[in-house]
Structure 1
Amino acid sequence: MSDFLRIFALCQIFASVPVFADKIALLVIDVQNCFLPTGNLPVADGDHVIPVINDIRRKYDNLFSLVVFSQDWHCVDHVSFASQHSGKAPYNTVILQYNNEGMLCDPTSQCDVEYNITQVLWPDHCIKNTTTAEFASNITKKNSDFIVKKGYHCKIDSYSAFFDNGGFSHTQLDRKLKENKISTVIVTGLALDYCVFYTAKDAKKLGYNVYVVEDATRGVANSTSNGAVKDMNNRGIHIIQSDQLEDIMDKLTSLGNILQGLNCFWYIVNFVITVDLVHSLASL
């Protein structure tokens, strides 16, 4: 009986350590100096997402199997910059043409156009290796967090943390999530109507269970933000507020604790059966 009690006590200890039915990743999208109110491409109230994201980490960091920061990382002459298009101003749009290999077609040369991609032209922003491209100084960030750079191809933009805007190339993000057996992603950051939106769409398309924490995001414009939220809802992406996370995290992780208990119970049953068998054989 003493051995049985020891096994039971061990199971009680093991049961206090969560085993997650869903492995969850927190995605923090582009919370960089360039997108804050003092940046080159300011998102209104973009700095307001920082305390919300920090609070999410304070409360639930131990439940995240992975935390990912995406980082816009542009060359100085990036094709998305209005400064690279004569006669164009920031927030104008142009059509960029690409061949079947994803190469930008130069209007002055012959090119077999396969793809036409609408591009919003932005102020120069998030230029790599500058302070504007650095993460906000007051956001909670740890050495264990994984950084995904995007937008580093000079001839095509990349709103999504998974793919460029033409789907010609991909980042390391999907591979990293799969390596860590992630099934659910919780998306926060900037901006709701562009990089958060495209990241969430691609995550859903790749088969992940996707939550967007709306109050941990801000958008460039109300009209495009409202459209993005409607589109994500239609795709089955969960649009939530941070105060809903407690219940959501509990639901995502509670099945794992049940499974932990069942495993422990099964271990006890096998132990009892083995002890009974040993005693039976000893009495022969």
Structure 2
Amino acid sequence: MFYIVQRIYEVSMRCFGVLFIITSLQVISGRIALLVIDVQNCFLPTGSLPVNDGDQVIPVINGIRQQYDNLFSLVVFSQDWHCSDHISFASQHDGKNSYSTTILQYDNTGKLCESTCDVQYNLTQVLWPDHCIKNTTDAEFAVNVTRSNTDVIVKKGYHCKIDSYSAFFDNGGFSQTELDVKLKEKDIKSVIITGLALDYCVFYTAKDAKRLGYNVYVVQDATRGVEEGTTVSAVREMKDQGINIVQSSEMSRVMQQLTSAGILLRYSVYPWYISVIGITHILLYH
């Protein structure tokens, strides 16, 4: 009898150890990704397409990383990476000024209709100053944003004939970046989105993430918009679509919520552990 009880106790303790390790890993990894959208020189106040107060997102993003980096399974930096003659540049459209709009037409394969073709898609394109041209200092990441050699870089906007606000897809949805694949490889369920600009690249990234089934949080004070009107409407639309708009001051609550399943699972092991100890003690010594 003593031997049987002792074996039950030993097996139970081993199971408890394995369960504790598994649930600890779940809490630590959390299956959460931090997305840092286009924090590049081109969008800072001294850049070619400055976002008002764009540099002010950097200390907020750095603070989030410093405090919660161990809870992120993945950190992704998206990088606008344009051809010098990119279709979104006002300089490529005669008689057009920066921040005006034009209609771009595409066939069913996503090819730009520059002459006669079977038009299937009409996309409204904001025309921007030349910016984030690949292999230039302007396109590099801000020097003071915290980065690690384990971070993933996802380039976007590199197709010369179509723009890409979202870090997932081009503006017509004709092609996609590697972002969704990278997130699924890590079994990511929730994304925390920061960066520039709130009313364009952050907005479209958040919408695509939601559509792809991710649990989405946008940290509002870790972003800035191009214009007040489009920023207000972007925030309203994101809320309407079930995207969580939070402040960095709420990140403690957010991270606790996102990891609470693992925490609850871990602590649910303890009553079982105490019961095994108690029953074993009674059988052995009474």
TM-score for the superposition, normalised by structure 2? 0.88
Structure 1 residues 4 and 207, CA gap change in structure 2 (3 angstroms): closer
Residues 227-266 of structure 1 aligned to structure 2 (within 5 Å): 227-263=233-269
Cα deviation, residue 265, structure 1: 6.0
Aligned to 1:193: 199
The yes-or-no answer on 1:216 pairing with 2:248 is no
> Do 1:211 and 1:237's aligned partners in 2 also have CA atoms closer than 8 Å?
yes
Aligned to 2:50: 42
Residues 64-103 of structure 1 aligned to structure 2 (within 5 Å): 64-103=72-111
Residues 14-29 of structure 1 aligned to structure 2 (within 5 Å): 14=21, 17-20=24-27, 22-29=30-37
Secondary structure at 1:199 match in 2: helix
Secondary structure at 2:208 match in 1: helix
CA distance in 1, matches of 2:277, 2:110: 61
Letter matched to residue 159 of structure 1: Y
For structure 1, the 5+ residue unaligned runs are: 280-284
Letter matched to residue 260 of structure 1: R
The yes-or-no answer on 1:130 pairing with 2:136 is yes
Structure 1 residues 93 and 11, CA gap change in structure 2 (3 angstroms): same
Letter matched to residue 104 of structure 1: L
CA distance in 2, matches of 1:236, 1:166: 23
Aligned to 1:104: 112
Aligned to 2:3: none
CA distance in 2, matches of 1:198, 1:100: 22
Structure 1 residues 162 and 271, CA gap change in structure 2 (3 angstroms): farther
Where does structure 1 differ by over 3 angstroms across 4 or more consecutive aligned residues? 1-18, 261-273
Structure 1 residues 102 and 268, CA gap change in structure 2 (3 angstroms): farther
The yes-or-no answer on 1:142 pairing with 2:155 is no
Residues 171-186 of structure 1 aligned to structure 2 (within 5 Å): 171-186=177-192
> Do 1:187 and 1:211's aligned partners in 2 also have CA atoms closer than 8 Å?
yes
Cα deviation, residue 19, structure 1: 1.7
Cα deviation, residue 7, structure 1: 5.4
Question: Cα deviation per residue 1:1-26 (whole Å; 9 max; x = unaligned)?
Answer: 79589759957974893524951100
The yes-or-no answer on 1:163 pairing with 2:164 is no
> Do 1:19 and 1:260's aligned partners in 2 also have CA atoms closer than 8 Å?
no
> Do 1:18 and 1:253's aligned partners in 2 also have CA atoms closer than 8 Å?
no
Aligned to 1:118: 124
Structure 1 residues 1-10 or 34-43, which shifts more?
1-10
For structure 2, the 5+ residue unaligned runs are: 1-5
Secondary structure at 2:76 match in 1: strand
Aligned to 1:282: none
CA distance in 2, matches of 1:126, 1:185: 25
CA distance in 2, matches of 1:22, 1:144: 17
CA distance in 2, matches of 1:164, 1:3: 57
Letter matched to residue 179 of structure 1: E
The yes-or-no answer on 1:31 pairing with 2:25 is no
Q: Matched residue pairs, number?
A: 274
CA distance in 1, matches of 2:273, 2:164: 50
CA distance in 1, matches of 2:25, 2:256: 11
Secondary structure at 1:58 match in 2: helix
